[in-house]
Amino acid sequence: MTNKHTRDDWEALADKEAKGADLSRETPEGIRLKTVYGPGGVAHIDSGYPGLPPYTRGPYATMYAGRPWTIRQYAGFSTAEESNAFYRRNLKAGQKGLSVAFDLATHRGYDSDHPRVAGDVGKAGVAIDSVEDMKLLFDGIPLDKMSVSMTMNGAVLPIMAFFIVAGEEQGVERVKLTGTIQNDILKEFAVRNTYIYPPEPSMRIVSDIIAFCAAEMPKFNSISISGYHMHEAGATAVQELAYTLADGMEYVRCAIADGLDIDDFAPRLSFFFGIGMNLFMEIAKLRAARTLWARIMTDLGAKSEKSKLLRTHCQTSGVSLTEQDPYNNIVRTTVEALAAVLGGTQSLHTNSFDEAIALPTDFSARIARNTQLILAEESGVTAVADPLGGSWYVEALTRELEDKAWALIEEVEQHGGMTKAVAEGLPKHRIEEAAAERAAKVDTGETVIVGVNRYRLEDEPHLDILEVDNAKVRAGQIARLEKMRSGRDETKARAALDALEAGAKAPPRNGEGDQAQLGGGDRAEHSPPSAASAAATSPLGGGSNLLALAVDCARARCSLGEISDALERAFGRYHTNPEPVRGIYGKRSDARWSEAVEGTQRVADRLGRKPRILVAKMGQDGHDRGANLVSSAFGDLGFEVIAGPLFQTPRETAAMAVEKDVDVVGASSLAAGHKTLIPELIAALKEAGRADIKVVAGGVIPPQDYAMLRKAGVQAIFGPGTNLADAADEVLRLLGHNKPPMDEAAE
């Protein structure tokens, strides 16, 4: 029987059902979604087949029917021994690969005994100070059989060196090592901020690692170009897609300029995307990424089809996890994991439901891991390659993402490439604007978050959380460092460090050192390159390969901090100051926001000036999305906002608060250092005679810690999901505005 109905019939029916209303929706990416998609909109689109150019439908012909994605869990906490035990339990339970999370001290190139990291050791990842720690981390885990992914960028040289030497001493030649090192420094300067050195030498490090791995570690992915941290910072799908691929273009050009043949290293490049809650948008994002990368690599001169394949790891969103009604996060993670799989990821990490509050427990990690196992074993999604291929909606959405992302890539190219675009602050500013736009819509309820701004529970469930004894971990790490140093050949260790420093001061292999310099920062203790360097040269040829020299340091039992210090003497340490966006929150016109604006003005009238707040990020946590949102919102309300520099100690924050004569310090915490850092800040303010300065705290702070912080002197606590107008009311109340205190549940 023939269906004689036409599109006109459907439009008439749709208009009748909509009663004249426009039911189309515009996404944060600026894509106007229709209520229905048909064949007419995709008649010109041919996505081909999986495994064939342009690889829209997947990098491999049979996809998961031939080989399921690798099930990973990103984990690391406390000590190498405890992380090792966690890994071994997970591997026994079905996990197929390891993804290592390092603590913030390690990321920033500090040994655990450094005074700047007292509150960070072991708190948000595993502390790795030496090759001895790395050997313990993989004890009983055969490195010739296990794929290891390591999220490391700033201290990438010592971490890679420790991994290589740990393999050697396990009896595994480096040619057999498999896995991925992130090694993506551009996105650190744009959003994540766990950099150490200035951009020019940082790009040299990236290139040296690519060269070393291409020559000596053919099974190892020398870089994982990461959009995940852009996603977490608030990027839209278009921004994440465009800026990630633009970063990839920059790394490829850097390696080519360093004398490498594109087809020698490009097949070992990999990507890393975040997966959010818009199911079809995320599926289309991965399909568009493959299509665009094939185009980009062809344009850059790749001849091998393997060079044109975009292979990616994905992680479900951390920013979508909520402290409120946290069991909802299990559902969110499942939706996001399904999107990653339907989009064709090669490996996947699923977040645990309690990670908006603390590090995952064994209980929550098991649920996260089993989410993947159930998708792989029970859902049937592995049977067919790209099951959504040919969907009118998915194909149209993929093409729209391609076009919009390409426009952003062309804008970056017009700025001279991603390094120069980052220097001008282009990606960072755009991403921060998108983050503020979304946060404001969540505050007003325009964007619904179940359990946060709608369908909220009256009583939140109590959760058992994983707690790390930071002082105990640090003491153990210091003891191990002392033992290692006392037992090594000091002459060999010093010679290796001197050779590394000299190699870092020598010109790079191409002798040009022409990578663009990022603006907005300074080089502390910077030493210019020395042409007279007597650095040892690598068998890789052409100059001093820094990874080869770092491996010599690792064998000589030099510590991570010592290796980083040697590089810092050559390169300097990079610093920036946050510059939050303005005017986004100011667009709000709802009653709650108007009340907060009026309250701010009343306090300003009483003080004779704007109320003054210092937004502080203490410790080595560079994730500044929350701090930037607070700075943006309070600035738009009428506060004078001092955005404190990243990586301050509590005493440095206290000194700045006194110098700027602020009324309030807002301490932003994400990486579990609040129990150490915030009490130290309050004590330092008292010592300075300014106990009158109010201290409030916000971020990922478990409710179990609220009483301890209040006892220490914290006067208000704002957990994830707090409406910033409510937070402003509480701060204004502390400053004398006659508003009743926030309800406990709102914290």
Active site residue 64: no
Distance from C-alpha of 617 to C-alpha of 17, rounded to nearest angstrom:
52
Q: How far apart are the first and last CA of the chain?
A: 62
Beta-strand pair 573-576/521-524: antiparallel
Looking at the DSSP bridge assignments, the partners of residue 618 are: 648
CB neighbour class for 341 (10 Å; exposed up to 12, middle 13-18, buried from 19): buried
Q: Concatenated DSSP letters for 637-664?
A: HT-EEEEPPTTB-HHHHHHHHHHTT-SE
**Alpha carbons 703 and 464: distance in angstroms, whole number:** 11
Positive or negative, the CA dihedral 84, 85, 91, 92 is: positive
Cα–Cα distance for residue pair 589/725, rounded to 1 Å: 12
**Encoding tokens for residue 223?**
């870089």
Catalytic choice (55, 60, 64, 74): 74
Cα-trace Rg, the chain: 26
Tokens of 703: 């409710």
Helix (H, G, I), strand (E, B) or coil at 65: helix
Q: Which two tokens stand for residue 616?
A: 């502080």
Residue 188: count other Cβ atoms within 10 Å of its Cβ: 23
- Among the listed residues 107, 114, 229, 428, the single catalytic one is 229
CA dist 80 and 679 (Å) reads: 28
- Say which of 313, 404, 428, 623 is annotated catalytic: 623
Helices 625-637, 724-734: axis angle to 10 degrees equals 70
| Distance of alpha carbon 656 from alpha carbon 650, whole angstroms | 10
Catalytic residue among 64, 87, 195, 228: 228
Reply yes or no on whether 737 is catalytic.
Answer: no
Is 448 strand, coil or helix?
Answer: coil
DSSP letter at 359 equals B
Task: Tokens for 425, please give them.
Answer: 């602050």
| CA distances for 301 relative to 84, 246, 280, 295, 715, angstroms | 43, 16, 32, 10, 59
Which of 640, 598, 585 lies closest to 615 in space, CA to CA? Answer: 640
Both tokens of residue 20? Answer: 């004249």
Residue pair 124/620 in contact (Cβ under 8 Å)? The answer is no
Of the candidates 369, 324, 321, 360, which has an alpha carbon nearest to the alpha carbon of residue 672?
360
Strand arrangement, sheet containing 179-181: 220-221, 179-181, 148-150, 97-100, 70-75, 347-349, 312-316, 269-275, 223-226
Q: What residues have CB less than 8 Å from 332, skipping those under 6 apart?
A: 277, 316, 317, 320, 321
Name which of 192, 166, 188, 190 is nearest 179 in CA terms.
Answer: 166
Task: For residue 669, give both structure tokens.
Answer: 């915490």
Which residues, 6+ apart, have CB-to-CB distance to 22 below 8 Å? none
- Largest CA-CA distance found in the chain, in angstroms, rounded: 89
Outline where DSSP puts E strands in 292-380.
312-316, 347-349
Strands 612-616 and 640-643: parallel
Residue bearing tokens 């800026």: 243
Contact (Cβ atoms closer than 8 angstroms) between residue 672 and residue 700: yes
Q: Which residue has the tokens 């040009």?
A: 512
CA atoms within 13 A on the CB side of 601: 7
Q: Is 8 a catalytic residue?
A: no
Catalytic residue among 135, 617, 675, 694: 617
Q: Is 15 a catalytic site residue? A: no
Is 229 known to be catalytic? yes
3-class secondary structure, 209: helix
228 is catalytic: yes
From the number of C-beta atoms within 10 Å of its C-beta (0-12, 13-18, 19+), residue 491 rates as: exposed
Q: Which of 111, 621, 705, 729 is catalytic?
A: 621
Q: Which residues are catalytic?
A: 74, 228-229, 617, 621, 623
